[in-house]
Amino acid sequence: MQEPEQTGPRVNDRIRAPRVLVIDETGTKLGEFMTEDAIALAHERGVDLIEVAPNGRPPVCRIGDFGRIKYEKQKKDAAARKRQTVVSTKEVKLRPKTDEHDYQVKLRHARRFLEAGDKVKVTVRFRGREMAHRNIGEQRCRELAGDCEDLAIIETLPNMEGRQMFMIIAPKKK
The secondary structure of 72-100 as a DSSP string is: HHHHHHHHHHHH--PPPEEEEEE-TT--H
The secondary structure of 95-113 as a DSSP string is: -TT--HHHHHHHHHHHHHH
Report the CATH number of the 12-81 domain.
3.10.20.80
Tens-digit pLDDT profile for residues 37-50: 888 888 888 888 88
pLDDT (0 to 100) of residue 84 = 81
Q: Read off the pTM.
A: 0.55
Report the CATH number of the 89-171 domain.
3.30.110.10
Torsional sign, CA 143, 148, 150, 155: negative
Residue 163's pLDDT band, with cuts at 50, 70 and 90, is very high
- The domain locations on the chain are 12-81, 89-171
